[in-house]
Structure 1
Amino acid sequence: MSLSAHAQFILDKQPKLSGEFSVSANALCQVATNTLTYMKQQPNDAFAVHAGNHVLPQANLSRVKETLAFVCQLKNKPLNAQFLKHHFDFYQWIPDKKTADLLANKSTNSVKKRLLTNIPKDQILLTKYYTKLLDASESATEVYDQALYALPYDEQGLTEEQAQEKHGELTRFAYTRQDIIAGVLREKKLAKPLVWLTEEALHDVLLQGTGVVDVDGQRRYFNVHRNNGISYDYTLGKREQARYWYFAEVPSVLGYGTTIKNKIVIDKNVAFAGNVKQLGLGKLFLIQVANDDTQQLQLGVLADQGGAFDDNLFQLDWLKGSYYGWQDYYQENKVYADYAHAWILLKKQE
């Protein structure tokens, strides 16, 4: 039985929405436009550019694109439940609790075990992610002793396909995160350090995927580029992960893409990371999440992914902004519940 058989997206003809909308229509329009542009320019990206692999039979790629194109009309309309119900079909997400329970039983991380075990039958796990604000140094110091490394020297100039053909020969595939933290790249001078961090910051940025640092009054962005080929292990904490990412300096916060040059520019609160492989890029989601004692409604586009979403149809990751670490992120976002009602929205057909 396929994974998708354990999750469902059910046409909800009378969605019971409650709460206030909190959406930047301009930001949502821009992310929708950026995602649609990627889909038009990269039609051969079979991993991401599709309507959904046996998840939502009612969808086709044209309808997904029409939905994204229509999103910008929200800038000029009163955003409320009545408007959305008039223009969109709602498909409620019933999560794949079977897979979540299997992962919970395997996990040695108590927080993950609790979150997975407690997923409601009609709500998804709503995690939040952020771009990592970095205290950093241009050179190595006693405090800043871990680097964000560019692709190793022996891979410079190679496409992803060319690198895969030389898999057994390249530095990128030779070392775990723990090897690199221990200093193997630095000692053997195998890759260029882009910026130097503390070890704790390194673990955070490897998890979040984007680092943001102010250097000499200039804001700089670093995005994951290629990894060492080791899969993310959902049952482990961040320090135990063997997966390691090499980075590239980029002009802004980026989401999904096949190369560092074609990644989608995304924005806080209106972008989600999720299972792009099965859901297909560009799905428009509406989430209804508890915010302290009230409900909040939020629209966002599936425009990013991550290793945690392999075989995962029970979770979305909501981009919430830039923070130095867990404490300042938590202080601002602790008001949000861990679970949310979620719907895929598709523009109604004329």
Structure 2
Amino acid sequence: MFSRLLIALIFVVVTQSYVFADAQFLKEQSPNFGQLSIFKGSELCAVSKATNQYLRQHKDDVKAVHAGKAIGNGISLGRVEQTLDFLCQIYQEDVRANRNSRLHDGAFLKANFEFIRWIPDKEKADEIARKSTNSVKSRMLNQIPNKQLFLTKYYAKLLDGSAVKTDHYSQALYQLPSDEQHFSLEQAELKKDQLTRFRYTRQEVMEGALLNKKLAKPLVWVTEEALHDVLLQGTGVLTVDGKIRYFNVHRNNGIDYDYAIGKREQKRYWYFAEVPSILGYGKELKNKIAIKPQVSLAGNVKQLGLGKLILVNYQLEKRSQAQLAILADEGGAFDDNLFQLDLLAGSYRGWGDYHQANKHIPDYADIWILLKKEE
């Protein structure tokens, strides 16, 4: 409790603050961040447009389409939409004028955006750390700084697969079971006691429950290790018979993700669908948001609201570096989690090449939510 009071006192430049659980969101007049780099304005604009389209077309999605329950009543959904519009306006104006992007200019951001500093919910992180059976995870959660979030990275898994089952490719990515093919998500929820999807754990599916009873169609076959990875990452980019194919999580078996245990022990299981690209949030598969590396973040959409423009700042080789990204994805690990964000880093074969490409990025970062200033 004392530490949280101390944090509040440090921010003497704050004009207004909101508190949710033990996370805090504080308006900051003079944010200190480094050189804006890494991200591409074109891809930031693309994700911004796709996310804004979702916000405007799916007002009935009360889980994700709101101003930000965790942040407070000072933010309207209209301002979130205007912020995303403004991003693309600036990018397009700069392209037409053949000049450097103002989205990479810190002074321009400070002049045109309101900054809301996000202070992590350390009490929740510490609680999870005490329960976790993973010593590395516990250590990293315990070490979250008072003013920085836990910045994890996720990626689309580059995999080899097979159109048929073999000894090597022994696990399937299954399509939604046959008894649910024509149900909307809402219709399926009403019938969940009768549906195959809610009947089996990950381990039971892997042991053949669906295949033996012909309850769901295998879309593609992968190795056991690859299955655990793609269930965790949410998207698989597979080479099958020499062709690149994309597979995205569709609906799960209704079992919560357990932050305290490892990927192999998780009972949550996802059914998949083949898609045209890497996709982020969407209530239904047909309207999921197309996302891009380095400009897309996964987080607690339920409490933060979809579409927040976020500035991520961290120390890199003793210099402060920043990038802009959009909250356009979610994951089971973010339920009741206001201490972490997950940056889409790219597409990789596995931990080795992912780590090599991203080992320089720290595990903790300063985070601000940005809103276009009201005129």
Q: TM-score, normalised by structure 1?
A: 0.97
Aligned residue for 1:117?
142
Runs of at least 4 residues off by over 3 Å: none
Aligned residue for 1:262?
287
- Map 1:160-239 onto structure 2 (within 5 A): 160-239=185-264
| Conserved? CA contact 2:120–2:147, under 8 Å | yes
Structure 2 counterpart of 1:37, one-letter code: Q
- Map 1:1-350 onto structure 2 (within 5 A): 4-75=20-91, 76=94, 77-78=101-102, 79-350=104-375
Q: How many residues align?
A: 349
Worse-matched range after superposition: 67-76 or 143-152: 67-76
Matched residue SS, 1:135: strand
Task: Please give the alpha-carbon distance, in whole angstroms, between the structure 1 residues aligned to 2:70 and 2:214.
Answer: 47
Matched residue SS, 1:203: helix
| Conserved? CA contact 2:162–2:241, under 8 Å | no
| Conserved? CA contact 1:22–1:296, under 8 Å | no
Structure 1 counterpart of 2:304, one-letter code: L
Deviation of the 1:20 alpha carbon:
4.2
Matched residue SS, 2:286: coil
Give me the identity figure in percent: 58
Task: Please give the alpha-carbon distance, in whole angstroms, between the structure 2 residues aligned to 1:131 and 1:196.
Answer: 17
Structure 2 counterpart of 1:294, one-letter code: R
Worse-matched range after superposition: 238-247 or 287-296: 287-296
| Conserved? CA contact 2:124–2:337, under 8 Å | yes
| Conserved? CA contact 2:311–2:322, under 8 Å | yes
Deviation of the 1:54 alpha carbon:
4.1
Indicate the structure whose relative CO is greater, using CA pairs within 8 Å and at least 6 residues apart. Answer: 1
| Conserved? CA contact 1:256–1:264, under 8 Å | yes
Deviation of the 1:171 alpha carbon:
1.1
| Conserved? CA contact 1:20–1:295, under 8 Å | no
Structure 2 counterpart of 1:247, one-letter code: F
| Conserved? CA contact 2:25–2:71, under 8 Å | yes
Structure 2 residue runs without a partner (length 5+):
1-17, 95-100
Matched residue SS, 1:281: coil
Q: Deviations over 1:116-174 (max 9, x none)?
A: 10000000000000011111111100010000000111111111122122212211111
Structure 2 counterpart of 1:192, one-letter code: K
Deviation of the 1:324 alpha carbon:
1.2
* RMSD (CA atoms): 1.3
Q: TM-score, normalised by structure 2?
A: 0.91
Q: Deviations over 1:282-337 (max 9, x none)?
A: 00000002234433211000000011000010000000111111111111111110
Q: 1:139 to 1:3 in 2, by over 3 A?
A: farther
Structure 2 counterpart of 1:175, one-letter code: Y
Q: 1:135 to 1:292 in 2, by over 3 A?
A: farther
Deviation of the 1:73 alpha carbon:
3.2
Q: Deviations over 1:33-75 (max 9, x none)?
A: 0000001110111100100114233211111110000111342
| Conserved? CA contact 1:292–1:336, under 8 Å | no
